[in-house]
Amino acid sequence: MSDGPRDGFWDELGGLCRAVGRAMGVTFVNFLRKPVTVHYPDVTRVYPDRFRGVLALTYDTETGEENCIGCRLCEYICPPRVIKVEMLKSEKRNFAKTFTLELYACEFCELCVQVCPTDAIVMMKSFDVATADRRELLLDKDRLHTLGQQFERSWATGNILRDMQTPPKAAKAESAAQPKAAGGAE
């Protein structure tokens, strides 16, 4: 990239002119390029499948019942502890009596989605819930279910994530048999 060392007055002057010309040339080339601006909110870009947006609770697609069984695993794993669940015991299965999620403190780390055994809590492909009143971001169970119907769902659910991460039994046996081949200890 460098022109090399310059000596002499005319060499320096020529080098300066060349450098100036190059820099202004780069800005000129960028002047002719199309701007990268996306005219949000008139135009929204396409969110990828795995987008971590606002959280929502889901219903079972076949039976129409709530998926959440009130097991509180999400409450325990949440690092900033924004989820509070109360369980409601019933004959065949349990439900969540109350489920509050403080979205204004949520980190969007997807750990609650990761641990959910019934794929009840998921993330949506949207984050457009800005309000002027923080109390609207204290999501209760009804609001969470509404959000689940309102936006498009992301790809990740608990079972999908855990299946992706859990090593298959065959590979585990292989790695036990040949410790060297399956990647050394760090």
Partner 1 sequence: MDPEARKVIEMGYGGAERLTMNMGPQHPSAHGVFRAILTLQGETVVGMDAVIGYLHRCHEKLGETLTYTQYPSIASKTDYVAAMSSELAYVRAAELLGKIEVPKRAQYLRVLVGELQRIASHCVWLGTWCMDMGGALGGGATVFLYCIREREMVLDLFEALVGARLLYGFHQVGGTRYDLPAGWVQTCRETVDFIDRRITEWEEMLEDNDFFLARARGVGVISRELAQEIGISGPLIRASGVNYDIRRAEPYSSYEDFDFKVPVETAGDCYARYRVRMVEFRESSKIVRQVLDGLPEGPISSRPGVKSVGQVRIPKGEAYARVEGPRGEVGCYLVADGSAKPYRMKWRGASFSNLAVLPHIIPGHKVADVVAIMGSVDPVFGEVDR
Partner 2 sequence: MGEALSGFIAGFIVLNAVVGIVTYVTLLERKFAARMQSRIGPYRVGPHGLLQPIADALKLMMKEDIVPRLADRVVYNLAPVVFLIPCMLIFATIPFAPGLGVADLNIGILFFLAVSAMEIVGLFMAGWGSNNKYALLSAMRAVNQIISYDLPFIFTALVPVLLAGSLRLSDIATAQAGLWFVFYPVIGQLAFAAFIITTLAAENRVPFDILEAESELVAGFRVEYSGMKFALIQLGEYAHMVGTSFLGALLFLGAWAGPGPAWLGPVWFLLKAMGVFLLVTWVRWSFVRIRVDQILAISWKLLLPLSLLLLMATALVVVLRSGPGV
Q: Look at residue 110 and give the partner it binds from partner 2, partner 1, none, a contact being a CB closer than 5 to 8 Å depending on partner kind.
A: partner 1
Q: What single letter denotes the amino acid at residue 133?
A: D
- CA dihedral (110, 112, 117, 120) in degrees, to 10, reads -90
Residue 63 touching partner 2 (CB under 8 A): no
Residue 161 touching partner 1 (CB under 8 A): yes
Residue 36 touching partner 2 (CB under 8 A): yes
Taking residue 101's Cβ as centre, other Cβ atoms within 10 Å add up to: 28
Which whole-number Å values give the CA distances from 19 to 6, 12, 31, 68, in the listed order? 12, 10, 18, 64
- Specify which residues 102 forms β-bridges with: 138
Query: In the chain, at which residue ranges do the beta strands (DSSP E only) sit?
Result: 55-57, 83-88, 95-102, 121-123, 138-139
**Of 61-69, 89-97, 105-113, 133-141, which segment contacts partner 1 by CB under 8 A?**
105-113
Interacting residues with partner 2 (CB under 8 A): 20, 23-24, 26-28, 30-31, 33-37, 39
Interacting residues with partner 1 (CB under 8 A): 1-3, 15-16, 18-20, 22-23, 25-27, 29-30, 36, 48-52, 73, 76-79, 107-111, 114-115, 117, 123, 154, 156, 161-168, 171-172, 175, 179, 182-186
